[in-house]
Structure 1
């Protein structure tokens, strides 16, 4: 295979917007700022939002290549956990990835995979490529995964799951049982993730979608072999925050006109990610809470489901004013002066960046969290699954830029009074203003990290240098 003087990198994204958005962000940054030619391989999905994301403005030296959708129906059952499904999908996609890399004109000097793609390291070794992991979540989540891998299932089961005692992570914030992701709670099915935890430590480095100044103590602990007892022996590169750009998606004319009429920082944006949903009862309480707060709102609404990960189905009959039957009767009529409801999906970054938006009620996915920070918007933390409860704990306890219901948002119904009070706190109270000031300071620090000479810029530059040295070796 011929070589050239430009360093090429291949990136592999698992299914799901939570992985694809930061992978595309990383690829664009590597191509634009660090002289890479980047090929992003992503596992095809029939999710319409994937297509929308990939219509983003073209970047020179960036190629995006889909891998064929694989059929894993014979390999999973009705109770197979989401994490395990993702790992299996990636594993079944490896033959296609190998064929495409083998056919490339120039051999990539590095393969960068997300958290569920470590099985692709065999391909990297076959083609003599450097191996990196890109952790699209935060450093604390990575520390929890790696430390759990070291402790093993027996200890986690007895101490953390049955005993419900906090998981002590040396040098890091302890992880309460209530905030533990399902993938670490469900011992019977967590072996796949543990195995990937060990594989990550056999890479040439771990990139993290955070920045040094945001999680300095956790990143220091990850780098300190004494803290994690020799588990992390590879370089740690905090290279974020890498956030979505919404591609070519512009604000709908009606949405833009409505936002333009509102006072600065007067609107709370309500959205639970690209596919998450609430139960019918919880949606009713949320609707009443927004209405009773009398604060301006934009709400991205999907039909309810008992599964937080989300399902799409045909809605029933609407009320006379167009209100769907799963919202309180007459909701649209009563809130027409203060609210705007958007069905199914909206260009989130475009909305968060509008001057009229001053709060965000969010499921606390890490992408959404970073997008909120990068636009200086405080949050109401409403975690639903995966590591979102960990993110919510960081936002409320460490950064103090969010409020959170005292009850579990996955196990109990959050009442309308609680919701209304949280909205008022964020949008109208002194406490909310203090959070807004703090999140704007975080935004400024994040921007400095990404600028030339900043910590995130320098860490990614080091990866580029290592790839160039490997290419010339």
Structure 2
């Protein structure tokens, strides 16, 4: 009789994180048909259409378990989306534990893999006597910071943003304090305390799975592996890149319009502009970006959302305003045929895979970054929040596959700077060098997930470990 190895995946209600961990789950069951996966999903409110599409795209071998929605009515109406997520995670923990306990009682559950934002799940593995892993949907560079953060906290007394010298993180390129993630920009804030507490829980993991491949962050991953060999940190496994391959869309007439428009453009001539699944700009910044695109003289495809006071939208399916109202007067008419603005959402996978795309102006979210790498598209780094500035440092200063925008003293990227950097990437000599480096990185990404690639071999070794535990349980 065939023994099914059962793995539980615990997600978080953040679209970008959910996408990443589901792609990992799909890859796992694709490579190992005898592994059974159940995805446990905390929720608040009704999922948007894009989230529904993610789950609709899952193979039948991936079971889904949606926990009862958490009631957030006691929170203020204008609560930041990040706080809503944290409260949802906290209030869902008893439900998650009960779900895991039930799975363990009825199947040969051998491992729990929880998203890196929900490290509170890691102790559950010890209580249920199963292995417990963290799925880290970002860079090894950020992971190194997380594992090193308590030491930094003790070694540095001032605010990180006030440091004159760059910070040394094991295995990483030196990084300025202002480029550290948002929670580290105010050490007296609650977010900073939560960041440190969450990082300490990583040490409870039997391993940490990173959504990247060895060849992209080899120095950092090797440094982490040296630390693990000394018994100082958990095992670190580079198992990516996991990117969305097939279409998961809401569906609209815009889909056909922008793809047909791209079909008419010369090869590598169009700059794709997008700030991810939820990133937004201020009204002033939208106008500056529009003027910069126009001044550059380069072709562009821009996915535009209206401004939001948080700089991020919680529901990527919400369409309450007309984003075209925030563009400069006459912009659409003046750039007609030369550029195209798509409201709210577009299929990034299809766009980046189109031969007309020659550059990608990105917020440096990790999903978007990996999609750019997998398709070999040179980048303009325009980070907005979270760990995106760290990603920009990795891409522009370390790997040198991106140009980073300069922000003025008033916090705005001005039109002249936007025009300059677009032309530099799309038609400048430095842009040509970036294209060559990105091609090498693309080839390495493709190789990493081949049958004998570094990431596939690493994931297979983990899977074999889990399967052997299932056999032991059945004996």
Do both proteins adopt the same fold according to a TM-score greater than 0.5, normalized to the shorter chain?
Answer: yes
Deviation at 1:4, TM superposition (A): 6.4
Q: Matched residue of 1:305: which SS? A: coil
Aligned counterparts of 1:193 and 1:402: Cα–Cα separation in 2: 28
Q: Matched residue of 2:133: which SS? A: strand
Aligned counterparts of 2:226 and 2:85: Cα–Cα separation in 1: 30
The residue aligned with 1:167 is 167
Deviation at 1:91, TM superposition (A): 2.5
The residue aligned with 1:315 is 321
Aligned counterparts of 1:107 and 1:150: Cα–Cα separation in 2: 39
The residue aligned with 1:195 is 197
The residue aligned with 1:8 is 6
Aligned counterparts of 1:341 and 1:254: Cα–Cα separation in 2: 11
Deviation at 1:463, TM superposition (A): 1.2
The residue aligned with 1:320 is none
Are the aligned partners of 2:122 and 2:134 in contact in 1 as well (CA < 8 Å)? no
In 2 relative to 1, CA 220–415 (structure 1 residues): closer, same or farther, beyond 3 Å? same
Deviation at 1:115, TM superposition (A): 1.1
1:387-418, Cα deviation, whole Å (9 max, x unpaired): 00011111111111111122269x61111111
In 2 relative to 1, CA 467–75 (structure 1 residues): closer, same or farther, beyond 3 Å? farther
The residue aligned with 2:125 is 124
The residue aligned with 2:292 is 289
Deviation at 1:328, TM superposition (A): 0.8
1:222-279, Cα deviation, whole Å (9 max, x unpaired): 122399x8641x2110001111235343782212211111111111111111111111
Q: Matched residue of 1:109: which SS? A: strand
In 2 relative to 1, CA 191–48 (structure 1 residues): closer, same or farther, beyond 3 Å? same
Q: Matched residue of 1:341: which SS? A: strand
TM-score of the pair, normalised by structure 1: 0.90
Deviation at 1:99, TM superposition (A): 3.1
TM-score of the pair, normalised by structure 2: 0.90
Do structure 1's residue 279 and structure 2's residue 282 form an aligned pair?
yes
Q: Name structure 2 gaps, 5 residues minimum.
A: none
The residue aligned with 2:92 is 93
1:382-421 correspondence to structure 2 within 5 Å: 382-407=382-407, 412-421=411-420
Aligned counterparts of 2:325 and 2:73: Cα–Cα separation in 1: 34
Aligned counterparts of 1:342 and 1:106: Cα–Cα separation in 2: 47
Instruction: Spell out structure 1 runs of 4+ moving beyond 4 A.
Output: 72-81
Are the aligned partners of 1:277 and 1:303 in contact in 2 as well (CA < 8 Å)? yes
Do structure 1's residue 265 and structure 2's residue 268 form an aligned pair?
yes
1:140-289 correspondence to structure 2 within 5 Å: 140-152=141-153, 154-158=154-158, 160-188=160-188, 189=190, 190-225=192-227, 231-232=232-233, 234-249=234-249, 252-289=255-292
1:368-379 correspondence to structure 2 within 5 Å: 368-379=368-379
Are the aligned partners of 1:91 and 1:120 in contact in 2 as well (CA < 8 Å)? no
**Among residues 16, 19, 24, which one is paired with 1:18 in the alignment?**
16
How many matched pairs? Answer: 459
In 2 relative to 1, CA 69–186 (structure 1 residues): closer, same or farther, beyond 3 Å? farther
Q: Name structure 1 gaps, 5 residues minimum.
A: 317-322
1:319-398 correspondence to structure 2 within 5 Å: 324-398=324-398
Are the aligned partners of 2:10 and 2:115 in contact in 1 as well (CA < 8 Å)? yes
